[in-house]
Structure 1
Amino acid sequence: MGKAIPMVELWRGGLLESTHLGHAVICDEAGQIVEAWGDPGRVIFPRSSCKMLQALPLLETGAADAHGLTEAHLALSCASHQGAAIHVEMAGKWLKDLGLGEANLRCGAHEPLDHAERDRLISHHDKPCQLHNNCSGKHSGFLTVVKHLGVGPEYVELDHPLQKAIKASFEEVTNETSAGWGIDGCSAPNFACSVTGLARSMSAFASASEDGNTRQKAMHRLTRAMATYPELVAGEGRACTELMRAMGGKVAIKTGAEAVFVAIIPEKKLGIALKIEDGNSRASEAAITAILARIGVLDAAHPAAQKRLPAEQRNWRGLHTGELRLSAGFL
């Protein structure tokens, strides 16, 4: 068993200030490791990086087509959005079309990350609702399956038919028996796997064809939806959105809480998963940027890449204070 390796460093005044250790794996279409750093067997919670896995029952049960969902809906079902008007309005209409409403969600409410929507709420003396939750698109997808199958409303419970279907899909695509589960920030179960298992699942998405079996078609559609609608997957200024745009819709990427990141690369049939041990997202964004550039799908000189690595640090007066760099020996 390996150990986490130094991946990203923060330098200030010519001295090393912080080091972020982590693990990363690249898998090919056969699910085999092409390259790895740290401990490929490190068991993690993928958190929101696995939302495309959680969305498989939405397509495989026929619920998406039965309720006329578009590619935009599929992208939102995989999103960790920032609660901007585009996200809130789409999720709200989605539920209304199902004959449901915000009260049917089980994700909880939090203040939107989008500044314009946050300011609108303040100026109107309104409170955020569950539609502002960054997982409201995923939960709208969950409710679509619930409606389609006619099963109970408490869809985040571990023994609910939806969560049983998600767990089965998760284990089949990662090709692992989940080591355990925890409750995610949006109240849904999150199943654990190794970094390799997560990368293997992403390579399955990367190699899936629209002419394949039911699961492969579902994977292909979800990947295409994410890459086509990057603004729905995250939002303006966010790494997922900006980096997918920088790659011209050829790659789908997704972050997860506690510094997890995945990438689906159809043209190379590769899947990537990484985890930064200390949970720092600046490091996971830098590391995924570096790996994508290294394998030739992201231009390292693109502003979206340069924003994250090497990332110059400036203070509130605009003074240069330091720089985020790759650690020696990583890549």
Structure 2
Amino acid sequence: MTQPVAMTEVWRGTLLESLHLGHAVICDDTGRIVQSWGDPRATVYPRSSCKMIQALPLITSGAAAKYGLGPEHLALACASHSGAAIHTDRVAAWLEHLGLGDDDLRCGPQEPGDMAARDALILADTVPCQMHNNCSGKHSGFLTMAQHMGAGPEYVEIDHPVQQACLAAFEEVTGEASPTYGIDGCSAPNFATSLEGLARAMAWFATAGDRSDRQSAAARQLTAAMMRHPELVAGEGRACTELMRAMNGRAAIKTGAEAVFVAIIPGKRMGVAVKIADGATRASECAIAAILVQLGVLEADHPATRRFMNAPLLNRRGIDCGVIKPAAGFP
């Protein structure tokens, strides 16, 4: 097996303090690899980077149309949000529209990443609920599908019709049979694939405008929703939100736990998948930014780019101590 390669360096002063290795793949409109680093056949859990794939059946089943879901709902279905009010208020309204509530979710409570939301909970002397979970939008989509299907409430079980629909969509767009699955942080199954398969799926999303089938139409809606509402896909200060804003509709990107990152680039008719071997998010953010710069869809000197690539390391007093940057020769 090809070994991971150096992708992100962390310098402090004149010393290379840390080095992150990983794998990455770029696929074209035919699904073939046009460039790769490390092992393109490495088997990975996409984690939250594949939420747009998991959201395909929400549309193709007819559930999204039946319940009047719009771009904001679809962006939330693809989101790993920060639990800010703009996220939880919309999730609450979505569940209410379904005649459901927080107890119907199966993602578990999570302290919000958004500081204002966290402070509000402390001031109210209350605890986070499941709607604060970063995956509550995805789970609202699952509940919408389950209700539309007339299926049972335990929608995260592997044999539930919702998860079987997600598996079928996953294997179709990756072009591979998933070898296994793991249980994600939000309790839903997460299906494994090769990194090449994940990049191929993103290229399939990028070229959805070429096709007129129902699945491709759903892919177009989801990609457009993510690019239209980057603030709902993640949150203020987060890489997905900040970099999508900087690209202004040129790409949809999505992170996943354990340093996975993907990109859908319609204008280039390409898909990208990145996995950092040690699971460091700072490294995957830098690596995906570097690839997007190389592909010409992200400006290297944009302030948002500089937050994640060639980013200064500031200490507690604001002193510039070093830099996080792409490794020499990458990409």
Give yes or no for TM over 0.5: yes
- Pairing 1:67-78 to 2, within 5 Å after superposition: 67-78=67-78
| Local SS of the residue matching 2:24 | strand
| Local SS of the residue matching 2:240 | helix
2:275 aligned with 1:275: yes
Distance 1:267 1:17 in 2: 37
| Local SS of the residue matching 1:162 | helix
Q: CA deviation at 1:211?
A: 5.9
Distance 1:251 1:8 in 2: 22
| Local SS of the residue matching 2:268 | coil
Which AA in structure 1 matches 2:39? Answer: D
| Contact kept in structure 2, 1:210 and 1:221, CA below 8 Å | no
2:25 aligned with 1:25: yes
Structure 2: state its 5+ residue gaps.
none
Report Cα offsets for 1:276-315 as digits up to 9, x if no partner.
0000000000000000000100011100001111011010
Q: CA deviation at 1:207?
A: 0.1
| Contact kept in structure 2, 1:210 and 1:220, CA below 8 Å | no
Which AA in structure 2 matches 1:182? Answer: G
- Pairing 1:181-200 to 2, within 5 Å after superposition: 181-200=181-200
Distance 2:266 2:329 in 1: 28
| Local SS of the residue matching 1:325 | strand
Distance 1:320 1:312 in 2: 6
Residue in 2 that maps onto 1:209: 209
| Local SS of the residue matching 2:36 | strand
| Local SS of the residue matching 2:304 | helix
2:25 aligned with 1:3: no
| Contact kept in structure 2, 1:9 and 1:324, CA below 8 Å | yes
Identity over aligned pairs, percent: 61
**Aligned residues: CA RMSD:** 0.8
Residue in 1 that maps onto 2:14: 14
Distance 2:254 2:80 in 1: 8
Q: CA deviation at 1:250?
A: 2.1
| Local SS of the residue matching 2:209 | coil
Distance 1:49 1:115 in 2: 24
- Pairing 1:195-274 to 2, within 5 Å after superposition: 195-209=195-209, 212-274=212-274
Residue in 2 that maps onto 1:163: 163
Residue in 1 that maps onto 2:100: 100
| Local SS of the residue matching 2:186 | coil
Which AA in structure 1 matches 2:264? Answer: I
Report Cα offsets for 1:190-236 as digits up to 9, x if no partner.
00001100000000000002861100000000000000000000000
Residue in 2 that maps onto 1:125: 125
Q: CA deviation at 1:324?
A: 1.1
Distance 1:227 1:198 in 2: 19
Residue in 2 that maps onto 1:287: 287
Distance 1:162 1:326 in 2: 40
Distance 1:235 1:319 in 2: 26
Report Cα offsets for 1:240-271 as digits up to 9, x if no partner.
00000000122100000000000000111100
List structure 1 segments (4+ residues) > 3 angstroms apart after TM superposition.
none
Residue in 1 that maps onto 2:36: 36
Distance 1:101 1:114 in 2: 22
Calculate the TM-score normalised by the size of structure 2. Answer: 0.99
Structure 1: state its 5+ residue gaps.
none
Which AA in structure 1 matches 2:313? Answer: Q
Distance 1:179 1:105 in 2: 28
Q: CA deviation at 1:69?
A: 0.2
Distance 2:286 2:74 in 1: 27
